[in-house]
Amino acid sequence: MAAMPKIVLEACVDSVEGALAAQAGGADRVELCAALVEGGLTPSAAAIELARRHLTIGLHVLIRPRGGDFCYSDLEMDVMCRDIEVAKSLGADGIVLGALQPDAAVDIDKTAVLIARARPLPVTFHRAFDMAADAFAALDALIALSVERLLTSGQAATADAGADLIARLVQHAADRITIMAGGGIGEQTIARVVQNTGVREVHLSGRAPVESRMTVRNPPISLGSDPRRPEYQRMTTSAARIRACRAQLDALPFAS
């Protein structure tokens, strides 16, 4: 019997430095975005260009023009279409996207337009899926649209909590689309999520806090939208955390 391909680890990163840390930690692919505190937004052209220049692993680019819901206006669609063209021109290996209707069904028409712009690159439908009203109807719609990959937490706060639904989605997909588990996955849960769902791809950020190098500070002022977030500390991808997750995957009996 032929050995199963190894479990793919995709790291969600919001900087070029984070992408390089993920690569050093053993990630197979990165999803490059900006503003992970917003759930991820489209990264800058410069970030895509430099990530492509320095990475030897796969580079998928998130296309999301703003935070909030996934119900987009025509103007926002124009922005996303242009962003897809930029990402393709700068060497992206794949595009990550998603759009919903007001009734929380997959917006088939808008998603089809975005997919057409992304081709011939593979497409991942992101966690907008986790906001869909009917998970299996949404999955069937994505299969009909020939989407290659679905990222989901199983419509729960974390993939660990949503493992039952993810496992059912894997069965329903029947290899017509790749189901990638993501959402709150870390060293303590990654092996359990894979074992409980049957996924062959996982998505995680593997971030750790980094203290600012600023020696002069003005603590009463916060320039971010959330004053509870430390102004002089940020979260960034940790090569050590990615490496620990890679080791957990590689230790699974069916991982190679």
233-237 and 207-211: which strand pairing? Answer: antiparallel
pLDDT of residue 1: 42
Quickly list DSSP for 124-175: EE-GGGGG-S-HHHHHHHHHHTT--EEEE-SSSSSTTTTHHHHHHHHHHHTT
Q: Is residue 139 part of a domain?
A: yes
> pLDDT-based confidence at 218, cuts 50/70/90?
confident
pTM above 0.85, yes or no: yes
C-alpha torsion sign, points 160, 162, 167, 170: negative
pLDDT at position 225, please? 60
Cα distance between residue 181 and residue 96, in whole Å: 14
CATH classification of the domain holding 167: 3.20.20.380
Residue 222 lies in a domain: yes
pLDDT mean over 77-84: 98
Tell me if 66 is assigned to some domain: yes
Domain count, the chain: 1
What's the CA gap between 182 and 126, in Å, rounded? 10
Task: Name the nearest CA neighbour of 242 among 1, 64, 69, 31.
Answer: 31
Which two structure tokens, joined as six digits, stand for 188? 């303590």
Cβ within 8 Å of residue 98, ≥6 positions away? 64, 70, 111, 125, 126, 127, 128, 129
**pLDDT at residue 224 in the model:** 66
Place of tokens 């940790």: 238
- 104: phi > 0 → left, psi -120 to 50 → alpha, else beta; which? left
In a domain, 141, yes or no: yes
Residue 256 within a domain: no
Q: What residues make up the domain containing 28?
A: 8-250
More confident residue, 71 or 233: 71
* Within-domain flag for 2: no
Cα torsion at 44, 204, 40, 71 (round to 10°)?
130
Residue 3 lies in a domain: no
User: Is the per-residue pLDDT at 24 higher than 70?
Assistant: yes
CB–CB of 31/11 below 8 Å? yes
Q: Which of 96, 154, 161 is nearest to 126 (CA)?
A: 96
Q: What span, in angstroms and rounded, lies between the C-alpha atoms of 253 and 88? A: 37
Is the pLDDT reported for residue 2 higher than 50? no
Whether 205 is covered by a domain: the verdict is yes
CB 126, CB 154: distance < 8 Å? no
Mean pLDDT to the nearest integer, 127-132: 98
How would residue 220 be classed by pLDDT, with cut points 50, 70 and 90? confident
